[in-house]
């Protein structure tokens, strides 16, 4: 189909969400990661951090620097990032392999310190407790995909109430999409 916002065929003939073919880097992300369930505190911490760094930028910018982020932030192992000190902060602010935004770096470090005090599994449980009803209709076009939902607003509030920084309702919804809490692949996308 060629209607704007409707799945389109890729070089392999499979229908995909249009954004999944908009850049070569997106194909693997769309096909292998986006919308698939992510569990575990460290894995969810990575996604939470990357979504926060994406705020105000395009996702492709973050995706292309993902390995740099992983290297800079000890593969997003909460316990290790929680031990980062001022020399690490200065290193991150100078690291050209990541987005060198002071507020986002500080939020990531503060969030790691906070999450390191939680019982293992608490972040996973909190995030997944906000998964919406599975009966939600599949989006037919990109226009049917929301940026914010009542569930993402509730997740944002719950995380903020616990002290997690840089996680507004839009960031929370992008996290929900990326981690499989919602399935926003278009109705006719082969990955639905």
Show which residues are catalytic. 29, 51, 59
Scored b (16 or more CB within 10 A) or e, 146-182 reads eeebebbbebbebbeeeebbbbbbbbbbbbbbbbbbb
Q: How far apart are CA 49 and CA 123, in angstroms?
A: 13
DSSP designation for 68: H
Spatial contact of 70 and 64, defined as CB atoms under 8 Å apart: no
- Residue 153, C-beta contacts closer than 8 angstroms, at least 6 positions apart: 169, 172
Spatial contact of 52 and 108, defined as CB atoms under 8 Å apart: yes
Count CB atoms within 10 A of the CB of residue 22. 14
SS3 content of the chain, % helix, strand, coil (to 5): 55, 0, 45
């Amino acid at each position: 189909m060629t209607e704007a916002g409707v799945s389109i065929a890729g070089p392999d003939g499979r229908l995909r969400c249009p954004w999944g073919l908009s850049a070569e880097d997106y194909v693997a992300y769309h096909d292998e990661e986006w919308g698939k369930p992510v569990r575990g505190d460290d894995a969810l911490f990575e996604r939470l951090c990357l979504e926060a760094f994406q705020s105000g930028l395009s996702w492709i910018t973050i995706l292309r620097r993902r390995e740099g982020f992983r290297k800079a932030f000890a593969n997003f192992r909460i316990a290790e990032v929680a031990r980062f000190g001022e020399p690490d902060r200065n290193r991150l602010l100078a690291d050209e392999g990541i987005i060198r935004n002071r507020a986002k770096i500080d939020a990531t470090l503060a969030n790691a310190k906070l999450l390191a005090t939680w019982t293992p599994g608490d972040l996973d449980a909190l995030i997944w407790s906000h998964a919406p009803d599975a009966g939600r209709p599949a989006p037919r076009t990109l226009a049917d995909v929301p940026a914010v939902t009542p569930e993402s607003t509730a997740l944002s509030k719950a995380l903020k109430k616990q002290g997690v920084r840089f996680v507004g309702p839009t960031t929370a919804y992008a996290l929900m999409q990326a981690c499989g809490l919602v399935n926003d692949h278009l109705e006719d996308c082969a990955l639905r």
